[in-house]
Chain A
Amino acid sequence: MNFPILSSLILLPSIGALFLFFTKSDKKNNFTGKYVALFTSAVNFFLSIYLWILFDPTTSEFQFVEERIWIKDLINYKVGVDGISILFILLTTFITPLCIISVNNSIKERLSEFLIAVLIMESFMIGVFCSLDLVIFYLFFEAGLIPMFLIIGIWGGARRVYSAFKFFLYTLLGSVLMLVAIITIYWLNGTTDVVELYNSGIDIKYQNLLWLAFFSSFAVKTPMWPVHTWLPDAHVEAPTAGSVLLAAILLKMAGYGFIRFSLGLFPAASEIFTPLIYTLSVIAIIFTSLMALMQEDMKKLIAYSSVAHMGYVTLGIFTIQQQGIEGSIIQMISHGLVSAALFLCVGVVYDRMHSRLIDTYGGIVSIIPKYSVLFMLFTLAALGLPGTSGFVGEFLILMGAFKDNFLVAVIASLGVIIGAAYMLWLYKRVVFGKLINTDLKQMFDLNRSELFILSCLAVPTLFFGFYPDPLINTIEVSISDLIDQYNFGVASKT
């Protein structure tokens, strides 16, 4: 058997965490602890790059599949990647080291525990994206709640307890129905192996209810309107690194779940519920964009913009067009980079001024120019300016939507305008204008690590904006086969 590269990707961060756990955590060792964490996650990143190089994009078969008996006669531990999941794994391994570098500035106490939580989180997230068994998927999906709950609750802001509870209970409530659905699938088909389920299909009689059960979980996690309210709270209270993880990776689990499970396993039901998704997505795009316009807290504004962006993602997925789904995936990757960067940008000024209110700032362009330039770049990427990765995603999604449903596409396009409005207005109020608050003069520009993190995020944002081919090549075949399978599923059952 070949080198189990996926299992190593999953296990490596946990091993790092274990190592951190056993090193004594006094003040001095926090320093080495950070390097241990950074080293582990960096190795993981290079390992995933290596995975991408080895990956064969010309087939939609799952690759690097590992299968072991886990619970006899019941569940096998099975992992593997296809074009869709590999990008999310890369995103996870790319964002985590940046998170770890960023803790320098924001986390003051219990650093090594924080790093342990982040590393364990990484393990679980990679597990989510490469598991090929529903129970294993559920296991990783739910397990991620524990470290995130602690990250928000221990290192969060003033209302951290409320937010942590809301986050945990909302997502748990959504997920338990998915567990019922998974067990039901087991009794219908005698297996929870995703590949086998793709081949055998699920009885049409049950698809609608099962789809709804999965939907309840993914809708909360995405989050879709009207169950999005946990997200702004969680974002506002989470420490910067926590917000970054939440926005960049956690939200993507649901989008990934929609593609992999809702479309893949329940094509007939997806066809029936597409109008529901369209309606909720359009409401999310318009409504939360308007909500974002009136926010006074920078983090909350970006959180609402995340909901709107995820609205595009769900819209794109359920167009069942090649462009639409490709767009959704690129939008998710791009949102992962851009929202991470925006939260870091907020974190940078928050660390200096200890305020997230937009009113506090204004006219800082002359004081911290480097920051202003990078913030500008990410603002433009968030509103989807051509030349940034945000544009590619949004454009493809809207193209897919126009092919499928004209009205929905027109309304969604209006969202782009509101999106531009709130992002630019935010930027104007924070960076431009007169310098009224004299305290701001003491602010210093980006330090080395901040500059490094933001540049790391800026490079792929621009690169994929101009040249999205590497992404599209990776996912193209997987998506076209998924759509074929979907159409076959819809046709054969009706």
Chain B
Amino acid sequence: MENLHLVLPEIFLSLSIMFLLILGVFKKNSSRLVQSLSLAALIVTAVITFNETIGINETKLFNNSIVIDYLSSLMKIITLLATFLVLIISSNYLKTFQIFKIEYPILILSSVLGMMVMINSNDLIVFYMGLELQSLALYVLATFNRDQIKSSEAGLKYFVLSALSSGLLLYGCSLIYGFTGSTNFNVIANQLNSNEYALTFGIVFILVGLAFKISAVPFHMWAPDVYEGSPTSVTLFFTMVPKIAALTVFIRFLYVPFLNLIDQWQMILIFLSIASMLFGAIAAIGQTNLKRLVAYSSIGHVGYALAGVAAGTNDGIQSSVIYITIYVLMNLGLFSCLLMLKRDNNYYEKIDDLSGLSKNHPMLALSLLIILFSLAGIPPLAGFFAKFYVFKAVIEQSMYFLAIVGLLSTVVAAFYYLRLIKIMYFDEQKEKYDTDHGFWLKFSLTASTLLILIYFIFPSQLIEVVSRINII
């Protein structure tokens, strides 16, 4: 066990969670302290991950059931940083609803731990364990505002549907185990016999489960309701962090054991991708609630990220990692804006509430304008480059249909982003919102907007970071 230091981040995080739980139980009114310590734990975990694992070659531990390589380290760091920002900007929101409790950061940390296990997994059982750990924490988080009926409904809905998808996923795992005699990704890859159609069924079942977690069409039904019902800060977490982990599992599950069956799963991914892009774009047009709109837009964005995975090359994987990173950045900015729409201890989340924002809050409106144009993929903003890399990888594989449908759906999607801009800039102004936002909220909005805006000056940096991902 000389390589134990490679799982030090996970070990540290689990110990911190246990410690914080005990601390929270024994010390009264310690929610602020727990929150700060959780933030510190996230940062320390990220630093440990960076120090211990970022530069090393692919290493497998615990009977090859977990794998530490560049992809997993990078995705873990992105997950941790995103979680850090979510946690730090949500405290004001939670205080407003008087749900600023010790459970919140602890649950978030547990689900992050689950995600880290997922990202590391090189074995179906380990993967499933991580998945369930993160899901269980997420169910509770969705109902976190338990006095509100919508929040409870969201949690219950998420629980029931998610349990169903986990069931399908497990069934897929058992099929694969039955036909290859192992749950280990590498062993499966060696035992693979492409004539076994039941094996394909296994892949399909697992893909269904994963597509559900990442809310790709046609397994997206839960997303709008859950996103709308959950507390906004939890919605922010839902739209970003679990997707990073699920995408990593997508990549590893498809490319490590089943690369030789690419013909079988590529069609499924292309379908998922096209359906998500189109449906996300079209369904968002009719929405009046900002959180539901974001839900549909995130369905669409998942479609673009999956398009990169569907390409079946290292370029494709890298492009979808870039996509998800930039998407996380844009979503962070978007939600920071949402969390600023507050007046007299009330948060506003209808799209009409943005009306005339540019006159009352010019800077907020300008930031939102930049973020929305970036989400729509208009150059020279970061969102355009995200799409550009994905479609470059897709066209390289001569998948023109996917590329053209994808780009046409950006035009449809542009419509609803433009509608928000129209409401902010062209419509009559309403009452002013509060301006006394916390430092971190302002910071995350400013930082994400600036990064989106000036990304085009330094586009090579991000490419360099992901260019070391090498799965195939």
Contact = CB atoms under 8 A, between A and B. Distances in A.
B414 A142 contact: no
Contacts of A142: 378-379, 384
A179 B425 contact: no
B412 to A, nearest CB: 9
Given A142-B378, A165-B418, A71 B459 contact: yes
A179 B418 contact: no
Interface string B252-292: 00000000000000000000000000000000000000000
B310 to A, nearest CB: 16
Contacts of A272: none
Contacts of A180: 391, 395, 400, 403-404, 407
Nearest to B394: A183
Contacts of B421: 149, 153
Contacts of B411: 169, 172-173, 176
A165 B415 contact: yes
Contacts, number: 81
Given A71-B463, A72-B460, A173-B411, A154 B426 contact: yes
A183 B391 contact: yes
A177 B392 CA distance: 13
Nearest to B459: A71
A177 B406 CA distance: 11
Interface string A163-195: 011001100110011011001101100000000
B463 A72 contact: yes
A187 B396 contact: yes
A165 B400 CA distance: 27
B415 A146 contact: no
A343 to B, nearest CB: 22
B464 interface: yes
B151 interface: no
A150 B425 contact: yes
Given A143-B379, A177-B407, A180-B403, A165 B460 contact: no
Contacts of B456: 139
B55 to A, nearest CB: 21
Q: Interface of chain A, helix or strand or loop or mixed? A: helix
Contact of B391 (A146, A149, A179): A179
Contacts of A161: 422, 426
A176 B410 CA distance: 9
Nearest to B391: A183
A143 B377 CA distance: 10
B459 A70 contact: yes
B60 to A, nearest CB: 31
Nearest to B456: A139
Nearest to B463: A71
Contacts of B392: 183, 186
A24 B400 CA distance: 49
Interface in B395-433: 395-396, 400, 403-404, 407-408, 410-411, 414-415, 418, 421-422, 425-426
Interface in B341-400: 373, 378-380, 384, 388, 391-392, 395-396, 400
Interface residues of A, number: 33
Nearest to B464: A72
A252 interface: no
A138 interface: yes
B373 A146 contact: yes
A462 interface: no
B155 to A, nearest CB: 38
Interface in B444-465: 456, 459-460, 463-464
B404 A168 contact: no
Interface string B159-189: 0000000000000000000000000000000
Nearest to B393: A183
Given A179-B391, A180-B407, A143 B380 contact: yes
A164 B391 CA distance: 27
B414 A187 contact: no
Contacts of A176: 407-408, 410-411
Interface in A63-112: 69-72, 74
Given A169-B414, A172-B414, A180-B400, A164 B422 contact: yes
A160 interface: yes
A184 B404 contact: no
Contacts of A71: 459-460, 463
Interface of A: 69-72, 74, 135, 138-140, 142-143, 145-146, 149-150, 153-154, 160-161, 164-165, 168-169, 172-173, 176-177, 179-180, 183-184, 186-187
Which 10 A-B residue pairings sit nearest by Cβ, starting from the closest? A176-B407, A139-B379, A183-B395, A173-B411, A72-B460, A142-B379, A71-B459, A153-B426, A143-B379, A172-B411
22 contacts: A72-B460, A72-B463, A72-B464, A135-B388, A138-B379, A139-B384, A142-B378, A142-B379, A142-B384, A143-B378, A149-B421, A150-B425, A153-B422, A165-B418, A169-B415, A176-B410, A179-B391, A180-B400, A180-B404, A183-B391, A183-B392, A184-B395
Given A138-B379, A149-B418, A173-B411, 13 more contacts: A139-B384, A139-B456, A142-B378, A153-B421, A154-B425, A168-B414, A172-B410, A172-B411, A173-B408, A176-B410, A179-B388, A184-B395, A186-B392
